[in-house]
């Protein structure tokens, strides 16, 4: 059981809450980047007792992707789109925070429903992972700009990854890599899509994309 696991998890949860309350996209990107770094650390911390080259490599890769590549890509997009702030969100920041606390409660409830067969690296692992996941979902639902939704998707991904690191040891390397590759391509493609959206519509407000509907009333 490596030290610094719990702090990392707590930080993760806090950053998620912070994201719930943040209105500036640039800060959002930074927060997500920070989460990526945290995850890299978490990966190492989780396998502290049997540290292997494989783990280190993986951690570095995570750092590179989630900590550097994605933020860089997204801020490129941000410059192109030149949107500084999140448009007025559908759910105000205060309520978002409250929802966040609810989500926290729910994740503790859920993790209580699901007794772990083997000890996780930390008792916080499951709740925090679920919490982060829910925050990701919540942000996708409650924010307008496509960029924010990508960020939210990343948060969701981070939560899930936290679960993977925290609870499931010894995932096969190829699967880990495959997952990372997929996430990378996903974010990349979404980034391109946002480029196009910005070019075609002159905004990246995903909520105004309502040409396709069956609701004429």
Partner 1 sequence: MSLIALLLIPTLLGIGTFFMKNDARRRAVLVVGAAAHASLVAATWAFPPAPLLGGWLLLDRLGQLFLTITSALFLAAALYAVGYLRREQRAAHRDFEEGLLFTNAPEATFTACLLFFLAAMTLVTVSQALGLLWIAIEATTLASAPLIYFHRHHRSLEATWKYLLICSVGIALALLGNFFLAVAASTRDGARVPLVLDSLIGAAGSLHVAWLKATLLLLLVGYGTKMGLAPLHTWLPDAHSEAPSVVSALLSGALLNCAFLGILRVQQVCAAAGQARFGQDLFVGFGLLSMAVAAVFIIGQTDFKRLLAYSSVEHMGILILGIGLGGAANFGALLHAVNHSLTKAMLFLVAGNILTVYRSKSAVGVGGIMRVLPASGVLWIAGFFAITGSPPFGPFLSEFTILKAALDQGRGGVACAYLVLLAIIFVGMITVALGMAQGPADDRWRLARPSESLLAIGPPAALAVVVLILGLYVPPAMHTAIEEAAHLLG
Partner 2 sequence: MHLLLLAIATLVGSGAAGLVWARTRWVSRVGAAGAVAGCAMAIVPAVRVLAGAPTESLRMSWQVPYGAFFIEIDPLSAFFLVPILCLSALAAVYGAEYLGAYREERRLGSAWFFFNALVAAMVVVVVARNAVLFLLAWELMALASFFLVTFEDEKPSVRDAGWMYLVATHLGAACVLALFVLLGCGSGSLDFDRMSGASAPVGLLFLLAMVGFGTKAGFMPFHVWLPEAHPAAPSHVSAVMSGVMIKTGIYGLVRILSFLGPPPAWWGWLLCGVGLTSGILGVLFALAQHDLKRLLAYHSVENIGIIALGLGVGELGLSVGSAPLAVLGFAGALLHVLNHAIFKGLLFLGAGAVAHATGIRDIDHLGGLLKRMPWTGLSFLIGAVAISGLPPLNGFVSEFLIYLGAFRGALSADTTAAVPLFGVVAGLALIGGLAAACFTKAFGIAFLGEPRSAPAWRAHEPGLAMRLPMLLLAASCVAIGCLAPLVIGMLAPVVERVSGLSPETVRGVVVSATGPLSFVALAALGILLLTALLAGLRQRLLSGRRVEETCTWDCGYARPSPRMQYTASSFTQPLTELFGLVLQSRRALVLPRGLFPRHASLTTETPDVCAQRLYAPVFTAIGRGLSALRWLQHGQVHLYVLYIALTLLVLLVWKLG
112 makes contact with partner 1 (CB under 8 A): no
Tell me how far apart the alpha carbons of residues 137 and 174 are, in angstroms, rounded to a whole number.
Answer: 27
Task: List the single partner that 3 binds among partner 1, partner 2, none, CB under 5 to 8 Å by kind.
Answer: none
Task: List the single partner that 144 binds among partner 1, partner 2, none, CB under 5 to 8 Å by kind.
Answer: partner 2
- For partner 2, the closer CB: 148 or 183: 148
Q: Where are the alpha helices (DSSP H) in the chain?
A: 5-21, 25-46, 53-62, 70-81, 93-113, 125-142, 146-167, 173-201
52 makes contact with partner 1 (CB under 8 A): no
Min dist. Cβ of residue 84 to partner 2 (A): 21
Contact with partner 1 (CB under 8 A): which of 197, 205, 207, 217?
197
Binders of partner 1 among residues 138 to 157 (CB under 8 A) are 140, 146, 149, 153, 156-157
16 makes contact with partner 1 (CB under 8 A): no
Tell me how far apart the alpha carbons of residues 96 and 19 are, in angstroms, rounded to a whole number.
Answer: 10
Q: Residue 68 to residues 18, 34, 71, 94: CA-CA distances in angstroms? A: 20, 9, 6, 30
């Amino acid at each position: 059981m490596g030290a610094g696991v719990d702090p990392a998890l707590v930080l993760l949860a806090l950053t998620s809450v912070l994201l719930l309350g943040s209105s500036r996209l640039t800060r959002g990107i930074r927060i997500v980047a920070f989460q990526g770094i945290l995850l890299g650390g978490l990966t190492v911390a989780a396998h502290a007792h049997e540290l292997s080259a494989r783990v280190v490599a993986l951690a570095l890769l995570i750092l590179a992707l989630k900590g550097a590549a994605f933020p860089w890509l997204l801020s490129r997009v941000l410059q192109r789109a030149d949107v500084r702030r999140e448009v007025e969100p559908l759910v105000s920041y205060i309520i978002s925070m409250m929802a966040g606390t609810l989500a926290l409660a729910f994740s503790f409830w859920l993790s209580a429903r699901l007794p772990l067969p083997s000890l996780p690296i930390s008792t916080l692992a499951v709740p925090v992972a679920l919490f982060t996941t829910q925050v990701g979902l919540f942000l996708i639902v409650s924010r307008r700009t496509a960029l924010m939704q990508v960020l939210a998707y990343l948060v969701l991904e981070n939560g899930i990854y936290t679960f993977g690191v925290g609870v499931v040891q010894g995932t096969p390397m190829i699967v880990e890599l495959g997952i990372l590759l997929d996430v990378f391509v996903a974010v990349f493609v979404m980034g391109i899509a946002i480029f196009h959206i910005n070019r075609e519509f002159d905004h990246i407000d995903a909520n105004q994309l309502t040409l396709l509907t069956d609701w004429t009333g």
